[in-house]
Amino acid sequence: MEISHRNLTQQLVHELGKAILQGKYSENKLPSEADIAKEYDISRTATREAIKMLTAKGLISSRPRQGIKVQDIKHWNLFDSDVLRWVLLGKPDLYMLRHFLDVRLAIEPAAASLAARYASDDEIIKIETSLSKLKFEGSGYDDTHQADIDFHKSILFASNNPFFIQLQTFVETALKVNLHFTKRADAVSEKEYQEHVDIFNCIKAGDEQGAFDTAAKTTKLTISLVNERIAALERINKT
């Protein structure tokens, strides 16, 4: 196999990352460095650097004489956006989507609550801007969903907590990948828009509990929808 030009190491990281997450390597054992280098027709140096990057992300480990092994999932840095993308691309299933939604349910109400307490005027304006883009009728599907993503990101940013801020890319990556598979024809509905407005109003008013509750309500609704789909799927599998 060959990979395109420009940053061979980065390319290989991506190729191997995807391959690992697709379960391409049986028994969690990768080929030796030399074999990988040969397979992708690049030097062992570049190969080793790619291996090191994947090691840093917790995906693999390598020891002399033992070779390169895939680590247990509990070591994977799932909050690394690369890893997350590979996971979601590798197994785009409803269960993983629910797991992810459960994290959002933990994160986003908390972030909204913190935003209600700490957001600066600029940060409030940022949230409001993406909210207005969400409403704008003439915009296309992609723009609307980018505005949706920006809305969530700006709330995380406004939390003024570096951990939540770091989760911006986490949420963005997951939302984008999920759109691949749950793409709906309609744009954001009026009801959804109203919920976003409610969240914003609570944040602007400094109502921490209200921001928490309204944000939780929105996410919970999505979760119940996914749970229904999972339940339906399981009924089909049983028969």
Q: Using CB under 8 A, list all residues that contact its own copies.
A: 9, 13, 45, 48-49, 52-58, 73-74, 76-80, 96, 99-100, 102-103, 105-107, 109-111, 114, 159, 161-166, 168
- Rounded to a whole number of angstroms, the minimum distance from the CB of residue 169 to DNA is 21
Smallest distance, its own copies to C-beta of residue 81, A: 9
CB 113 within 8 A of CB 209: yes
Distance CA(210)–CA(220), nearest Å, equals 15
- H-helix or E-strand containing 69? strand 67-70
Contact 85, 20 (CB under 8 A): no
Binds DNA (CB under 7 A): choice among 14, 15, 18, 44: 44
Residue 44: contacted member of its own copies, DNA, none (CB under 5 to 8 Å, by partner type): DNA
Pick 102 or 234: Cβ nearer its own copies: 102
From the list DNA, its own copies, none, pick the one residue 43 interacts with, judged by a Cβ distance below 5 to 8 Å according to partner type.
DNA
Find the binder of DNA among 66, 142, 190, 235 (CB under 7 A). 66
Q: Which is nearer to its own copies, 59 or 147 (CB)?
A: 59
Contacts of 66 (CB under 8 A, 6+ apart): none
d(CA 140, CA 194) in angstroms, rounded, equals 19
3 state DSSP class of 76: coil
Distance (Å, whole) CA 112 – CA 62: 41
Summarize as ranges the residues that interact with DNA (CB under 7 A): 5-10, 32-34, 42-46, 48-49, 51, 62-68
